Chain A
């Protein structure tokens, strides 16, 4: 919970990690990829305020104490969702698995939610694993990383035929929150790996599932926004938007927030700090304090306290069925509706 100027904010961080990228965990012969991956993340941390930067050794592997302090004691986070990224081709025990997340979550059952994952290229074995994980961890969500390398394949898309049984399974098991994270490779390599049209199609086919597009589809925000106006079950995951832009590129941040509020709407935007790339503290405090820098942004929807409360936690609490203390809820009234009607007016005209 974060309190500022007499307002109380319930904070739900929908995108967090507990990873091990230390050299001991690098797969022999794949060191360049394992090291490149974590160095790349570390560079992203450089986009946050200087006083929040970590040395690479700590960044490769941080402790449970670091996590608890940065998230709960100082970071204002009430509840966080672990998003796994396995990368077993590069990391012996995986980079950040559901299993390792669950070990931590067991100790903080009211504060941490564990998401699973699946990879359609694993076929029947993958389906069985998803079944088992769902039962063991009580999954309500999965994180899909489409750029993961596997046995010579550099990725997949949600519209692959092999993915259908997995989405059917999610529906059957009540795994309703599908977090999609695009990366730089897919099969075939000549296509745009960041394209989100596969999410569009799948969201239409599975209206009971929620599709949270992580990093708001960056670097394809425009495709994401156009899609989100069409699909009621598509949400914007703000990880990287806040961490990567609010401090480093404040005017770009204002534009992106303005566009998201216009096209996607405040009811479908979800805070995510993307720890340990960025600590939540400065992001939560900065977002609560944030407003457009000047009146050249006056065409965009206002950044109200109600909008910030929804974005910081209330929207995600609904998706994950998290009970919000009475004093942190909004008064019983409909908030400002999303700009869906406005957005539809400009559909199909660019």
Chain B
């Protein structure tokens, strides 16, 4: 594997915190250049010049951190282009400064609470997909809520659920209940349909947001239209 492909792989672990999708599959990575000496230059782009600065900062900072963790790279530059707070964000990310330092006087704190809020939303949304697949395959609410994490199919959706649980401090070991509310409490069989109704709405919200972002990015940068993600 070349350094270049390892850098790309690292960028693939960076998620848009609002959409819970990798910035690579969202096509937010415009370019990624690696010099012979191992210096890395990453350019990012977003669907509009006015995308929220807090999420924009997180993606740029996370991208820099992810690439810097690779032992074989030397200097890492991450630049967010065509964004109305790009100067502030790029300056802060470039010197490893936090969000509050990027926008002095305009924040009350760092972005941990925001990130956590959206991880909880993402967990709810992703669980709804796993749950609906089980219902469609004929499982009863009782069977579904009796499932443990170790019973979940080994596919990306479930793996991401476990990852999010770890990040949120919700136990995700094999014996833990497979379906939990945002606060980590297990979903009861009697509540499953009601829980799912809300969870599906959360999922629709994230998917629609992602759909609009993809469309706007495509129009903004005149990109070819990939196969539409089914609703």
Quick one: which of B50, B215, B228 contacts A40, CB cutoff 8 A? B50
- Indicate if the CB atoms of A44 and B216 lie closer than 8 Å: yes
Contacts of A244 in B (CB 8 A): 212, 215
Contacts of A123 in B (CB 8 A): none
Is residue A220 within 8 Å, beta carbon to beta carbon, of the partner chain?
Answer: yes
Interface contacts (Cβ under 8 Å), in number, total 132
From residue B181, how far is it (CB to closest CB) to chain A in Å? 7
Given contacts A36-B49, A188-B107, A190-B113, contact A350 B182 (CB under 8 A): yes
- Indicate if the CB atoms of A222 and B202 lie closer than 8 Å: yes
Quick one: which of B107, B202, B211 contacts A350, CB cutoff 8 A? B202
From residue A17, how far is it (CB to closest CB) to chain B in Å? 17
Contact with A along B99-127 (1 / 0, CB 8 A): 11001001111110110010001001000
Contact with B along A150-182 (1 / 0, CB 8 A): 000010000000000000000000000000000
Is residue B207 within 8 Å, beta carbon to beta carbon, of the partner chain?
Answer: yes
Quick one: which of B108, B110, B209, B230 contacts A218, CB cutoff 8 A? B209
Given contacts A187-B106, A189-B54, contact A36 B84 (CB under 8 A): yes
From residue B53, how far is it (CB to closest CB) to chain A in Å? 6
- Indicate if the CB atoms of B208 and A185 lie closer than 8 Å: no
Task: Name A223's closest neighbour in chain B (CB-CB).
Answer: B205
* Cα–Cα, bound, A255→B208 (Å): 9
* Cα–Cα, bound, A244→B219 (Å): 13
Contact with B along A175-210 (1 / 0, CB 8 A): 000000001110111111110000000000000000
Contact with A along B175-200 (1 / 0, CB 8 A): 00000011000000001011101110
From residue A338, how far is it (CB to closest CB) to chain B in Å? 16
* Cα–Cα, bound, A266→B114 (Å): 33
Contacts of A108 in B (CB 8 A): none
Contacts of B114 in A (CB 8 A): 190-192
Quick one: which of A219, A248, A249 contacts B205, CB cutoff 8 A? A219
* Cα–Cα, bound, A187→B219 (Å): 30
Is residue A47 within 8 Å, beta carbon to beta carbon, of the partner chain?
Answer: yes
Contacts of B204 in A (CB 8 A): 221-222, 252, 255-256, 259
* Cα–Cα, bound, A190→B110 (Å): 6
Contacts of A259 in B (CB 8 A): 201, 204
Is residue B36 within 8 Å, beta carbon to beta carbon, of the partner chain?
Answer: no
Is residue A46 within 8 Å, beta carbon to beta carbon, of the partner chain?
Answer: yes
- Indicate if the CB atoms of B53 and A189 lie closer than 8 Å: yes
Quick one: which of A40, A189, A219, A254 contacts B49, CB cutoff 8 A? A40
Quick one: which of A46, A184, A249, A350 contacts B208, CB cutoff 8 A? A249
From residue A91, how far is it (CB to closest CB) to chain B in Å? 15
- Indicate if the CB atoms of B208 and A221 lie closer than 8 Å: yes
* Cα–Cα, bound, A256→B211 (Å): 12
Quick one: which of A47, A194, A226, A349 contacts B195, CB cutoff 8 A? A349
Quick one: which of A47, A221, A346 contacts B194, CB cutoff 8 A? A346
- Indicate if the CB atoms of B211 and A249 lie closer than 8 Å: yes
- Indicate if the CB atoms of A46 and B219 lie closer than 8 Å: yes
Given contacts A187-B106, A190-B108, A193-B52, contact A222 B205 (CB under 8 A): yes
Quick one: which of B99, B199, B216, B231 contacts A190, CB cutoff 8 A? B99
Quick one: which of A192, A256, A346 contacts B197, CB cutoff 8 A? A346
* Cα–Cα, bound, A263→B121 (Å): 18
Q: Which of B50-78 contact A (CB under 8 A)?
A: 50-54
- Indicate if the CB atoms of B215 and A190 lie closer than 8 Å: no
Is residue A251 within 8 Å, beta carbon to beta carbon, of the partner chain?
Answer: yes
Contacts of A218 in B (CB 8 A): 208-209, 212
- Indicate if the CB atoms of A43 and B208 lie closer than 8 Å: no
- Indicate if the CB atoms of B117 and A192 lie closer than 8 Å: yes
- Indicate if the CB atoms of A190 and B52 lie closer than 8 Å: no
Interface residues of chain B, those whose CB is within 8 Å of chain A, are: 18, 47-54, 84, 99-100, 103, 106-111, 113-114, 117, 121, 124, 181-182, 191, 193-195, 197-199, 201-202, 204-205, 207-209, 211-212, 215-216, 219-220, 228, 230-231
Interface residues of chain A, those whose CB is within 8 Å of chain B, are: 32-33, 36-37, 39-40, 43-44, 46-47, 154, 183-185, 187-194, 218-222, 225-226, 244-245, 248-249, 251-252, 254-256, 259, 263, 345-346, 349-350
Q: Please name 9 pairs of A and B residues whose Cβ atoms are closer than 8 Å in the assembled complex, sorted by A.
A: A43-B216, A185-B52, A188-B107, A189-B53, A189-B103, A245-B211, A248-B215, A251-B231, A350-B197
Question: A40-B49, A256-B204 are known contacts; what are 5 more A-B pairs with Cβ within 8 Å?
Answer: A191-B114, A221-B201, A245-B211, A248-B211, A350-B181
